[in-house]
Amino acid sequence: MLKEKPKEIIKEKIEEELKHLEIEIKSLIEQAQPITPDCTLDDLGRTEAMTEVMVHGKILEQAKLKRTRLRNALSRIDDDMFGICVECGEPINIERIMVRPESIRCVKCAD
Ligand SMILES: [Zn+2]
């Protein structure tokens, strides 16, 4: 179980990251809008535009996934199991949690 102080720091960090993610997701949603079929692009340009939309869509999916994980981490932070690896039951390195608060596995098990 984590001591109170790092827990507060991690909480703040997660909230901060979530704020950034919200902004990122918002702009990605705009960029991932499907192109209108009547646009003036030729076939190549259309393909490129579609690829770009797909790439943005993929980044968007990852950003959403990370948001879900961070929200989960935030809801678990007061739990005794927070910071404990789900695979081996060992405490996850605090530095790792600081860098990636959504981690549910220790370095060894994440590989
Ligand atoms: Zn582990």
In which domain, by residue range, is 46 found? 4-81
Flag whether 57 is in a domain.
Answer: yes
> What's the pTM value of the predicted model, to 2 decimals?
0.78
Flag whether 111 is in a domain.
Answer: no
pLDDT digits (tens, 9 = 90+) for 53-97: 889 899 999 999 999 999 999 999 999 889 999 999 999 998 899
Alpha-helical (H) ranges within 32-101 are 43-76, 94-99
Q: How far is the CA of 17 from the centre of ligand 1 (A)?
A: 24
| Rg of the chain in Å (alpha carbons) | 19
Number of domains in the chain: 1
CA nearest 77: which of 99, 97, 106, 93? 97
pLDDT digits (tens, 9 = 90+) for 18-55: 999 999 999 999 887 776 665 677 888 888 888 888 89
Q: How far is the CA of 18 from the centre of ligand 1 (A)?
A: 25
Residues 6+ apart with CB under 8 A from 91: 83, 84, 85, 106
Flag whether 53 is in a domain.
Answer: yes
Strand partners, 40: none
